[in-house]
Structure 1
Amino acid sequence: MNRQMKRWFQGAIFVGFTGTPLLKQDKEMTTEVFGTFIHTYKFDEAVEDKVVLDLKYEARNVPQRLTSPELINDWFDAQTRSLNSSQKALLKMRWANMEKLMSSEGRKRGIVFDIVKDFGIKPRFISGRGTAILVAPSIYDACHYYRMFQQTPLGPHTALITSYQPNHNNISREPAGSDERYKFDTYTQHVLGSGQTTKQYEDEMKRRFIEEPENCKLLIVVSKLLTGFDAPSCTYIYLDNELHDHNLFQAICRTNRLDGADKDYGHVVDYKELFKDVQNAIAVYTSDQLATDAQGDDGNVILKDWKAEGKAQLDAAHEA
């Protein structure tokens, strides 16, 4: 479009705006197409101005089987704090079935358990004000995750949003048990209501996620909604997909919108060992690559010691 407009309007002055310019990691840099920057407003400046929140990164290694009774006890204690003994016994029986289910399917089940546990112990989730996004590596995996979550307390509050469009003609020759049939069956039997289109479903789930966080707590996506989708309630993003560069940066920034005093950070939970990629993605948008000549240093992210950071905040509150 840029090249076509320049052919149409020769000699005109063009001014462009972008939230995440393409830089050295990309084949064609923004500056090579549009020219040098007139002005830049970097990520760290926005955090300092309190326009957006800072990001908190956490890498998690998910075991194939549930081997930590401490994690299970933490979740159970949080869930049964206000229950009587008979209610606790009933929940314990249901939890035993859930634990068996989680342990049977390896890594994905471990991730499902990990997210369910978070929703039981994290203050933003407990209050009903916080939501999360799980980024799956493929549409098939997203469907698989969705079916697993239906067997947990999060099931009624989980939505699946991908680019998939169920079509009978596309699966007419697919054998039973194929990935295509699995995706088709997931959408037609578990996701969409009778006569409901994918657009109607997605529009409603996005509305709930933004306006009614208690009714839509978790979105499972692949690539949709990772850019340009703002939901202040979104507090956590769980990464099980290998994103890079500006795609990764835009994705993790779904979590850092302001939403009251109880939301202090946007949380990034990494199941794919993307530490370097996350570090580099943030570094790009805080570095001198965004100078007017786009020829600065590569930049680097200074990882904060969150215990020291917390103590500094506590000391400041005490001083105030």
Structure 2
Amino acid sequence: MVNQFFARAKFFCLIVLLSGYFACSEEPKSDLIQIPVPEKFDDEIYLEDIAKSVERIQLETVEGALLGYIKEVKLLDDKFYVGDSKISVFNREGKFVGRFGNQGSGPGEYGIITSMTLDSEKGLVYIASGKKIMVYNKEGEFLEEKSFRMFVNYVELIKQTPFIMTEEIGIPVDDGFANQTNLIELNSDLDVLDTLPFRTVLLHQVEIGGYPYRHYFSDNGEGVFLYKSVLTSENMIRDTLYRFVDKKFIPYLRLKFERPQSMKESPINDRGYQTLLLHNIMYSANYLIAEYTIEWEKMMFLYDKRSSKGYNLNGGVLDEDGEPLILYPLDLANDIFYFVKSVEYQDATIEEANPVIGVVQLK
């Protein structure tokens, strides 16, 4: 009986030890959300199949309002602020309201616009141009500006606080160079309050990479999220979306591309660049949209957070004409996006018509 007791006790201890061993041997669980992006593309998806509503606005073509390469569209008080090399304002029906601000190099004038953001509560428009930030009221009256030492890559309001993103290029380091990206907090007078280092990219030579469609921050009502692409030559894809909380960048979500991401694993083109480049991750209340390119051809990944269903779309979602479109953020808390569609050029004797702006609320 005693021997039986000790045998059972030894067996129990062995089970406990083995349980502890296997528990310690398990890989630690990560809180990072992983979303797979397949290499193959899904069947064609039409906008009407995924949209609750689609509003198409033909922007008026008049003298002084001819648009070029549209990089950004914002909506404030039922007016569209459209940014190409300048800012043009149109009403909700597409009628041209006027040019915004003045182009030039003097005080209150802007050259190349890299970014703009709107303060809907105060009716202010922030414009990043070169090495300075300018502030106007929504009627286009210049209020103030501030110059900085480095090129201002981006401007955004985060919980009513202005932030700018700068990138210092070609800092000499051991065995090469570094590109340093910082997020800088400003006060209402545009003075620097804090500098938050975000990323350092090490390179063998001085390089810079850019993309005209900059949608770095996503405020979807539940939180503020950040994705900034790296478009210089690296042996990896920067595929992580960060949550911005208490001035900290917390890894939140990763896109796991089935297509090989490393130069060592995947083919690179004859100029030595990676064939897959991830440009934007836009994170709304119920959707994630990723814009990327393969061999410079645009692709779009659409992910429904509620159903955990993803769609990998060659060229984008299709409109009624079968033309692929990329959706960009307009009001992420309400799953509202926009697209820009060129009007077919038909008459060589007149100016080419301004494009159509589509306002899309997803289901």
Q: Please report the TM-score for the alignment, with normalisation by the length of structure 1.
A: 0.30
Higher relative contact order (CA 8 A, sep 6+): 1
Q: Please report the TM-score for the alignment, with normalisation by the length of structure 2.
A: 0.28
Greater Rg, structure 1 or structure 2?
A: 2
Relative to its length, the structure with more strand (as a share) is 2
Relative to its length, the structure with more helix (as a share) is 1
